[in-house]
């Protein structure tokens, strides 16, 4: 994806946008082997080819009427690592949306807790993706499967 990538929230997104434009949604969560929860991100960008690097990073890509769409699964700790890297680089923005806290062992797989955390992770990610500096980082692009 070119360096001038532009993020739109799902409400602003249109499939007619070009290859430099994308959106992301946290569409669900799954309990993985070992009891860990993975949050499912659905990423969509305008018309263009899927990169070879993307095919090697667990993405399942499919063409959808002039756009590309794929999913990425990340554990809470992977979101936490991304947050730490952004903070280390001085790019962390939590003015409008704070990062959700860790859960307690007894509520870690509670459906209401997971839905609340899912929404909070999505809101936090939206806040970070508003920054062009964050969008230009390879670590952000890899997290989303854009490269």
The 10s digit of each residue's pLDDT in 73-127 is: 999 999 999 999 999 999 999 887 889 988 776 677 789 999 999 999 999 999 9
Phi, psi angle pair for 52, to nearest 5°: -60, -40
Q: Which residue has the tokens 């263009």?
A: 48
Nearest to 89 by CA among 142, 143, 137: 137
- pLDDT tens digits, 44-64: 988 744 444 443 333 333 334
23-27, 31-35, 77-81, 102-106: which range is least confident on average?
A: 102-106
Q: Where in the chain are the domains?
A: 6-144
From CA 126, how far away is CA 97, in angstroms rounded?
9
pLDDT of residue 55: 38
Half-sphere exposure of 71 (CA within 13 A, CB side): 10
> What is the total residue count of the chain?
147
Asked if 22 and 14 count as a contact pair (C-beta separation under 8 A), the reply is no
From CA 80, how far away is CA 86, in angstroms rounded?
10
Alpha-carbon Rg of the chain, whole angstroms?
15
What CATH number has the domain spanning 6-144? 3.30.1520.10
């Amino acid at each position: 994806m070119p360096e001038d990538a532009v993020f739109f929230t799902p409400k602003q997104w249109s499939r007619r946008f070009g290859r430099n434009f994308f959106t992301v949604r946290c569409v669900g969560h799954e309990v993985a082997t070992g009891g860990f929860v993975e949050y499912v991100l659905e990423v969509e960008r305008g018309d263009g080819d899927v990169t070879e690097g993307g095919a090697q990073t667990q993405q399942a890509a499919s063409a959808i009427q002039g756009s590309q769409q794929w999913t990425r699964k990340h554990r809470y700790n992977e979101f936490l690592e991304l947050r730490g890297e952004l903070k280390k680089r001085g790019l962390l923005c939590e003015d409008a949306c704070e990062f959700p806290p860790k859960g307690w062992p007894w509520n870690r797989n509670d459906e209401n807790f997971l839905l609340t955390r899912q929404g909070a992770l999505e809101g936090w990610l939206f806040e970070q993706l508003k920054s062009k500096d964050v969008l230009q980082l390879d670590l952000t692009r890899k997290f989303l499967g854009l490269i």
